[in-house]
Amino acid sequence: MSLLVRLALRNLSANFLNVIIGSILFFGTLLFVVGGSLIGSVNRALSQGIIGSVAGDAQIYRAASQDKPALFDNWNLPDLDPIPDFAKVSAVAAADPDVAALVPMGVGNAQVYYGNTLDEALGRLRRAVDGRPRAPRAVVESLKAQVRGIVDVIAQDYSKLALVASAAAVDPRSKAYLRRAASPAFWAGFDAAPDAHLEFLENRVAPILPDADAVYLHYVGTDLDLFRRCFDRLRIVDGTAVPSGQRGMLLSKFAYESQFKLKTAYRLDQIHEALTEQGRHIKGDGELEDLVRQNRTQTREILLQLDPLSAAKAAAVIRAATGSSRRDLPGLLAEFLDTDDADFAARYRVFYKDLAPLLRLYRLRPGDTLTIGAYTKSGYRKEVNVKVYGTYEFKGLEKSDLAGALSLMDLITFRELYGYASAADRAETRSIEAQAGAVAPPRADAEAALFGGGGVYSAPSSRGLDAAQALKSLPRRAASGDRPGRVFTPAQMDSGVCLEAAVLFKPGVAFTPAMARLQRVLDRAGLGLKVEGWRAAAGAIGQFVLAADLILGVATAIIFVVALVILNNAVVMATLQRVREIGTLRAIGAQKGFVLALVLVETLALGLLCGTAGMLAGAGVVRLLHRVGVPASNTYLYFFFSGPRLRPDLSLGSLVGAFLVVVGVTGASALYPALMATRVAPVRAMASED
């Protein structure tokens, strides 16, 4: 045996082909270790982000649903049948010893409209006029001048519209409203009747300005207290948490910045992040140059916010920052925002230190009330007023537009937007019907009663009661859900519909067996529910984990096949070059088994030596990448990495897998040449080459 090992080790350096074989094994092993560690780290980071943000370890939903839960498919909501009573499901799941918590959820989309620039300016002017004490005369006049300037801009735009659009597109009433609002006579009489003038501007002129924004929100309705306890990645950024048991909403910080912030400021933030965190440069970067161009040319949003006093301050600040001698504010502002790599940092500081206090950076502030509109399950539009208490983000997913786009809403408001009628709503409806004498016609007569055909349906007597009077006489609902500060009990939160529920298992519980046990518990209760793991519940994003594993497996198989072919050919060539040596060994008494073992041991020794070197080099590369980090160049990678950088860890699985691949490849590639060597005839092998 010792002779066999000595011969194998001697032959490692005797043939140049062994250097080629060793190089292939070295680099193949290195790539396997690095690639396996990277993909494994992405899988772990992504799973932690999905589980720890909103999905939980698993999701429960109605088995009869058309789709599966898809929490991160923001604008393609799955078709899920509602779970009619979450309290019953929670009681059943509580009997499972593996379940730590069950969090009710429902995903929805909403549209939010908020006022335009003129609405906001009129609001400030009304507060200045109606306030006690009344604002100083100079402030009132400055605000009046700002409103008048906005009206002049609208009038000019409307006159341009008449030049490029058809006559039907120009509303003569709007044109008359603008003419009146821009006239000196209108403003001369403002102080004598400010309320009447403000009402005219608010109701007739402000709707003409086309810069009112529509914001689309992707939200999760849930038990906010339970959600915060179960998903510890959540942290409040602005404002406060929604008080326990009350209606309210937490906007995601990502959505708040991207949709509610002054667009110029948001673009400046994007450029600042690219320069400071990503190491990019404005010059030569098409995306950053485009952001600078947009800021330089789209200054109207800022200009319309500035009253004359604020405009004078802004002009002075910009002249001091740029050294410009220009007097016109639009030109000054465009010059200030025309930044490059050399002056961006200084102007970014000036903007937030001196200009931002003069502007309304956010259209919405914590404590404001939003009117949220959404379509119910029946298809009609429902609008609900909800107070925004603050913003939040998930740790590690701060800048992800996938998990970061989900806003959080209380369950009661979610159910209203979903179109679910609570017990109080149904009782109130029955009371109104009784008081007003309303009676539903029989099903057979419904069409005739609705469209007036096929006969006349006569409802029972309403006892001569006037419907309007009946509505006025109804008692006010003491438990109105719209009463500010109303506190809902946990039983009221739980007793109602939800679309799905996040399951969190106790620490140390294996997911697959735990999901199977929970499924059996739910089946025994006859609730018609299904349990899905977090990968399926996350929708297309969750499938990335499975795709990554598949890619790793396919890549490994390809590398295995290619290496096997190359190594097999190389070992065959090396064996053919040693025919005389093998023949000599056979002639002096070496058996076929010895020759077979010699070729196999030599190849395996080469594989283990070079493979070990490749594993050590791969481990070093992974350690280096862990220290430096792989930057997330876009928001999708930010989500996949669960943060701004991926810091891969060296996994035991990658090392073991690399070792097994090396042994398998070298053994398989050496088997045929070894068998071929055993068939070499001693006499022929020792014959002269001549």
In the predicted model, is pLDDT for residue 131 greater than 80?
Answer: no
pLDDT at 117: 78
In the predicted model, is pLDDT for residue 243 greater than 90?
Answer: yes
Q: Which of 190, 208, 226 is the last residue of a domain?
A: 208
pLDDT at 655: 80
DSSP symbol at 76: S
In the predicted model, is pLDDT for residue 520 greater than 60?
Answer: yes
Quote the domain boundaries for residue 608.
2-48+543-686
Query: What mean pLDDT do residues 55-81 have?
Result: 85
Burial classification of residue 405, based on how many CB atoms lie within 10 Å of its CB (0-12 exposed, 13-18 middle, 19 or more buried): buried
Q: Which of 185, 208, 231 is the last residue of a domain?
A: 208
Number of domains in the chain: 2
Is 193 domain-assigned?
A: yes
Q: List the beta bridge partners of residue 409.
A: 221, 249
- When comparing pLDDT for 542 and 508, which is higher? 508
In the predicted model, is pLDDT for residue 306 greater than 60?
Answer: yes
**Band of pLDDT at residue 405, cut at 50, 70 and 90:** confident
**Which tens digit of pLDDT belongs to each residue from 250-273?**
999 988 998 899 999 999 999 998
Asked if residue 154 and residue 44 are part of one domain, the reply reads no
Query: What mean pLDDT do residues 152-161 have?
Result: 77
Query: What mean pLDDT do residues 295-311 have?
Result: 88
Query: What mean pLDDT do residues 220-229 have?
Result: 93
Is 183 domain-assigned?
A: yes
Q: How far apart are CA 466 and CA 457, in angstroms?
A: 20
- Whether 657 and 615 have beta carbons less than 8 Å apart is answered as no
> Residue 261's closest CA among 385, 341, 335, 352?
352
pLDDT at 340: 94
Neighbouring C-alpha atoms within 13 Å toward the C-beta of 165:
11
Structure tokens, 574: 């090396």
Identity of residue 48: Q
Asked if residue 35 and residue 156 are part of one domain, the reply reads no
Is 400 domain-assigned?
A: no
pLDDT at 200: 93
Q: Which of 182, 208, 234 is the last residue of a domain?
A: 208
Positions of E strands within 248-380: 249-252, 369-375
Query: What mean pLDDT do residues 31-51 have?
Result: 80
Least confident of 106-120, 147-161, 315-329, 474-488: 474-488
Q: How far apart are CA 435 and CA 650, in angstroms?
A: 73
Average pLDDT, the chain: 80
**Band of pLDDT at residue 478, cut at 50, 70 and 90:** very low
pLDDT at 325: 87
**Which tens digit of pLDDT belongs to each residue from 418-433?**
888 666 666 777 777 7
How many other CB atoms sit within 10 Å of the CB of residue 460?
7
In the predicted model, is pLDDT for residue 548 greater than 90?
Answer: no
Asked if residue 680 and residue 570 are part of one domain, the reply reads yes
Least confident of 48-57, 203-212, 305-314: 203-212
The 3-class secondary structure across 357-384, one letter per residue, is: HHCCCECCCCCCEEEEEEECCCCCEEEE
Q: How far apart are CA 343 and CA 339, in angstroms?
A: 6
In the predicted model, is pLDDT for residue 332 greater than 90?
Answer: yes
Asked if residue 676 and residue 548 are part of one domain, the reply reads yes
pLDDT at 112: 82
- When comparing pLDDT for 283 and 652, which is higher? 283
In the predicted model, is pLDDT for residue 179 greater than 50?
Answer: yes
Is 651 domain-assigned?
A: yes
Residue whose entry in the numeric block shows the structure tokens 């983000």: 393
Is 67 domain-assigned?
A: no
**Band of pLDDT at residue 319, cut at 50, 70 and 90:** very high
In the predicted model, is pLDDT for residue 400 greater than 50?
Answer: yes
Asked if residue 154 and residue 31 are part of one domain, the reply reads no
**Which tens digit of pLDDT belongs to each residue from 617-675?**
888 998 898 888 888 777 677 777 777 788 888 877 778 877 777 777 777 766 666 66
How many other CB atoms sit within 10 Å of the CB of residue 472?
9
Asked if residue 124 and residue 27 are part of one domain, the reply reads no
Query: What mean pLDDT do residues 241-251 have?
Result: 93
**Band of pLDDT at residue 290, cut at 50, 70 and 90:** very high
Asked if residue 562 and residue 680 are part of one domain, the reply reads yes
Across 5-19, 66-80, 661-675, the highest mean pLDDT is recorded for 66-80
- Whether 435 and 474 have beta carbons less than 8 Å apart is answered as yes
- When comparing pLDDT for 26 and 280, which is higher? 280
Its pTM stands at 0.73
pLDDT at 167: 58
Is 40 domain-assigned?
A: yes
Query: What mean pLDDT do residues 211-228 have?
Result: 84
**Which tens digit of pLDDT belongs to each residue from 92-117?**
998 899 999 999 999 888 888 766 77
Is 634 domain-assigned?
A: yes
Asked if residue 121 and residue 38 are part of one domain, the reply reads no
Query: What mean pLDDT do residues 454-469 have?
Result: 49
**Which tens digit of pLDDT belongs to each residue from 587-625?**
666 666 666 666 677 777 777 788 788 888 888 998 898
In the predicted model, is pLDDT for residue 491 greater than 60?
Answer: yes
Q: Percentage of residues in the chain with pLDDT exceeding 70?
A: 74
Is 673 domain-assigned?
A: yes
